[in-house]
Amino acid sequence: MKIKRVLIYVGISLIALPLLVVAGLFIWSATSTYPAGEMALAALEPSETVRVSQDDWITFSPENPSETGLIFYPGGLVEPEAYTPVLREIAEHGILVVITPMPLNLAILNTNAANAVFEAYPEISDWVLAGHSLGGASAAIYANGNPDKINALALWDSYPPDSADLSNSNLTVLSIYGTTDGIPNTDNFDNNTYLLPPDTLFIAIEGGSHAQFGDYGPQAGDVTPSISAADQHAQVVEAMLTFINK
């Protein structure tokens, strides 16, 4: 009987432990996530030129769309709505924009999120995949494994992980990053540029911070920006539109 009781206790423990781990991850994510700011929430309002939907994804659909679409992977532990100030403005120029919310707000848990978007919009012929921070690294992982599914990759203050070496890729890549006195703010940025194609377009935003690529307030370990969030957003929009239109 003692052996039977021990086996029962062991069985219960094996079942309970994964549930506790999952519950812990949900609690950690909920308490650690950076919420979207007022500017971002305001950008979710529809207009005569851009329709907004918030179902499986946050989608900005221009009234006069082109054949180009942009899929965006949010940064780690950042609410997807936080990136709407920049992405909404891009949609105002005729580009379908889809932000893909991620499990526990961690894009690394669903690097293939773009696939469902492709299936939902077969009329789009050209796709740009973009992401910020961990979202950019996750987008690079997708690009590395699916080079024929996207036309271009845009990284916002991000770089690929070692497992997603794109140095020999024919993919068109844009890297936008914040700097202070000309030095990248993201740790190990310069040390990882070798993972990108030689013709990658690098655009520095002087005085920009990591968090100001979105609208979610200060971020732990970030620099203090010397430009406003609106200024940084405008520079990111300009860089993205120039890149996409090429």
Tell me the DSSP string of 108-134.
GGGTTTHHHHHHH-TT--EEEEEEETH
Q: pLDDT tens digits for 157-205?
A: 999 999 999 999 999 999 999 999 999 999 999 999 999 999 999 999 9
pTM of the full structure: 0.89
Query: Quick one: pLDDT at residue 149?
Result: 97
Neighbours of 163 (CB within 10 A): 11
Query: Quick one: pLDDT at residue 3?
Result: 61
Q: pLDDT tens digits for 30-79?
A: 467 999 999 999 999 999 999 999 999 999 999 999 999 999 999 999 99
What is the average per-residue pLDDT within 81-106? 98
Q: With contact defined as beta carbons under 8 Å apart, do 128 and 154 qualify? A: yes
Q: pLDDT tens digits for 202-229?
A: 999 999 999 999 999 999 999 999 999 9
Query: Quick one: pLDDT at residue 31?
Result: 61
Residue 21 predicted with pLDDT over 70: no
Q: pLDDT tens digits for 1-20?
A: 556 454 444 445 444 434 22
pLDDT confidence tier of residue 25, bands split at 50, 70 and 90: very low
Q: Biggest alpha carbon distance in the chain?
A: 74
Q: Which of 160, 162, 164, 165 is nearest to 186 (CA)?
A: 160
pLDDT confidence tier of residue 109, bands split at 50, 70 and 90: very high
pLDDT confidence tier of residue 246, bands split at 50, 70 and 90: confident
Query: Quick one: pLDDT at residue 2?
Result: 58
Residue 22 predicted with pLDDT over 50: no
Query: Quick one: pLDDT at residue 27?
Result: 36
